Structure 1
Amino acid sequence: MKEVNYIIECLERTPLILQSLLNQIPEGLFKIRRVKHKWSIHEQVCHLVEAQDILTGRFKQFKNEPFPQIKSYSPPSAENYYLEMDMNSALTKFPEIRKGMVKMLRGFEDNYWTLDGEHNLYLPYNTKLLLSHTLNVDYAHLFSIEQLGLTKLGFEEGIITIP
């Protein structure tokens, strides 16, 4: 289970990496949607923190249900849903939320990491894929935040970001 432990260690570090990245970005850029129809840094952060409950719930489903049926998540469609959230409050909560997730993940027995389920968008779907997906979500949002916050003004057409 070496790969499982490695991914969990990476997940444990995300809150520190996120805060370090945000410290490098001028606060004036946080709420600006630099790319049309894409989220701002503020929205990226608030979504990342909010998604932790969904991801934790999926891990629990695997523990509590044989062959769980996982449905994809679509963020709320309200135009300013994440912009209206308090990003500083989300950032304050994130380390504790992630600490709880990491504790839960480390508490699973080795056989937990062999469980299969079904996801309406992914094939196959299992606990190891959910674990790596959780880390990929972190990385995707960190990359989007970096692109939105550190790309020089005037070069927005080169920014790569998720929603």
Structure 2
Amino acid sequence: MNFELNNSIEILERTPLILESFLSNLSSNWIKNNEGENTWSPYDIIGHLIYGEKTDWIVRAKIIVSQSENKTFESFDRFAQFKENQNLQISDLIAKFKDLRKSNLQELKSLHITSDKLALKATHPELGEITLQQLISAWVVHDLGHIAQISRVMAKQYDSNVGSWKAYLGILNK
């Protein structure tokens, strides 16, 4: 599939709705459990997505399309969510994520991105030179990856309960 901005926006718009539908009103066992030491729970993942909405995707997109001579990104703290209040309800986190994403997509659309703008470049502190198209593509894949991660983390809560069925449940074998 070739990159198309509208296709990307379709996924980016749906991610908060998917997460809201998937995680709202679940017990804390589903929300707060993870896969073991140094892994993330669905709660942690939503916190990570919120931090990304505040400091990553749209911030970097605006740097790329800016007229600034310095187009170098700041480093992204992938663990910043652990520095935030860990006692908020998941519904509050999802609402915050929904609001931030809605605002960021409005900003993205306001950039009036053309094929020329998609080719504009900036420098990532670890990855080097990247284009706006690569950034937006990564944003989409990042969302999809975390949706899959949440599903995997939740599935693994029943890992020891499925018995012989585990042979047929690929999500438990990853």
Please classify the TM superposition score into its range, dividing by the shorter chain length: 0.7 to 0.9
8 Å CA contact retained: 1:70, 1:117: yes
Tell me how large the CA RMSD over aligned residues is: 2.8
- Take 1:135 and 1:83, find their aligned partners in 2: how far apart are those partners? 27
Deviation, structure 1 residue 158: 3.9
Specify which structure has the bigger relative contact order, considering alpha-carbon pairs within 8 angstroms and separated by 6 or more residues: 1
Which ranges in structure 2 are unaligned for 5 or more consecutive residues? Answer: 162-170
> Secondary structure of 2:83's partner?
coil
- Take 1:136 and 1:24, find their aligned partners in 2: how far apart are those partners? 26
- Take 2:31 and 2:159, find their aligned partners in 1: how far apart are those partners? 13
Deviation, structure 1 residue 14: 0.7
Write 1 or 2 for the structure with the bigger share of helix. Answer: 2
| TM-score, normalization by structure 1 | 0.81
* 2:36 aligned residue: 35
**1:1-163 superposed matches below 5 A:** 3-23=4-24, 26-54=27-55, 55-64=57-66, 65-66=68-69, 68-76=71-79, 80-81=82-83, 84-86=86-88, 87-109=90-112, 110=114, 111-151=116-156, 152-154=158-160, 158=172, 160=174
- Take 2:79 and 2:41, find their aligned partners in 1: how far apart are those partners? 15
| TM-score, normalization by structure 2 | 0.76
- Take 1:45 and 1:25, find their aligned partners in 2: how far apart are those partners? 14
Residues 56, 97 of structure 1: alpha-carbon distance in 2 compared, 3 angstrom cutoff: same
Residues 59, 91 of structure 1: alpha-carbon distance in 2 compared, 3 angstrom cutoff: same
Task: Kindly name which structure, 1 or 2, has the bigger radius of gyration based on alpha carbons.
Answer: 2
